[in-house]
Amino acid sequence: METVLRSATREVTISPEQPFCIIGERINPTGRKIFQDQLRAGDLSRIEIDVAQQVAGGAMVLDVNMGAPLADEKELMVAAVKLIQGLTDLPLCIDSSIIEVLDAGLASYQGKALVNSVTAEDERLESILPLVRKYGAAVIALPNDEEEIPEDPRRRLELARKIIDVATGRFGIPIEDIVIDPLAMPVGADTTLVGKTLETIALLRAEFGVNTTLGASNVSFGMPDRHTIGAAFLPIAISSGLTSAILDARSPQIVRSVQAADLLLDRDPWGAAWIAAHRAQQAATQQAATQQAATQQAATQQAGAQQGAT
């Protein structure tokens, strides 16, 4: 099953047969006070840095969330979408809990976006799915409802079935455009929760064949050395059937673990992408060393000149 996302000029396919889809999480003010202050002041300059870093890191899709407290989220979303589409041709994931913000972001987007997100709550289904249908988007769906965020993988499967039935039956959204989030919970809260997430992924793959995604950083929340946990978790999840994740694309440790999983699961024919990424990393390291040596040489020469003058 293929979930196809598009920008104005590029197409990205999420599928078990394709390389794992890295959705960059960084364009989000949550937990970033300086970025929040900048957004409230209408300053979008940080977005340019976040885009450049995530593209360089290997992101294939960019999540865009403008939920800064006391800011005009709708206005910021429209401005951010337009700005980002002028900076990169990667497809975007429009991320908001506010219907009007999703509507405005989708209306200003050129291409087929991913919507983040809808739950199994009746009110959310009735308000978000019509937007998904209207704009021909794909949607991330979380299997929780008004009553609970279930721990039982079978209950998560039931709620995923409800979402799929409503989306396809009532709103005519193709099943391939529904990407299920199996609910990644913090391992620090309960070490059994990751196993339940992995079981949910396997059940979703067996029952529906749908593509899946999750917030990879949720797993390591509250724990030290979070990137190591993420780098270990993702290959395990990929082998269970996970086909994409919202993650920190600036982390070489996490991105390389995903690329290694693609290689080992035969999603990187002849290791071409792995070798190319390795060579690019070597070139970047060599360039950085050359620049550092040049800077040190210039500083030494300057110090010598100043000493001679005295």
Which pLDDT tens digit goes with each residue over 255-264? Answer: 999 999 999 9
The answer for residues whose C-beta is within 8 angstroms of residue 2's C-beta and 6 or more apart is 13, 14, 15, 17, 18, 176, 211
Q: H/E element holding 64?
A: strand 61-64
Domain ranges for the chain, please list them. Answer: 3-267, 271-310
Indicate the pTM of the whole model: 0.93
291 pLDDT exceeds 90?
no
Cβ burial, residue 205 (10 Å; 0-12/13-18/19+): buried
Mean per-residue pLDDT of the chain? 95
Three-state DSSP class for residue 207? helix
Q: H/E element holding 118?
A: strand 114-119
Q: H/E element holding 139?
A: strand 138-142
pLDDT tens digit string along 191-213? 999 999 999 999 999 999 999 99
pLDDT tens digit string along 69-95? 999 999 999 999 999 999 999 999 999
CA dist 226 → 55, 190, 249, 284, 295 (Å):
21, 16, 14, 25, 33
pLDDT tens digit string along 215-242? 999 999 999 999 999 999 999 999 999 9
Considering the domain delimited by 3-267, tell me its CATH architecture: Alpha-Beta Barrel (3.20)
Q: How high is the pLDDT of residue 167?
A: 98
Provide mean pLDDT across the span 95-122.
98
Pairing state between β 3-6 and 11-14: antiparallel
Query: CA dihedral in degrees (213, 104, 147, 157; nearest 10)?
Result: -30
Q: Dihedrals φ, ψ of 99, to 5°?
A: -60, -45
CA dist 44 → 55, 107, 230 (Å):
17, 20, 29
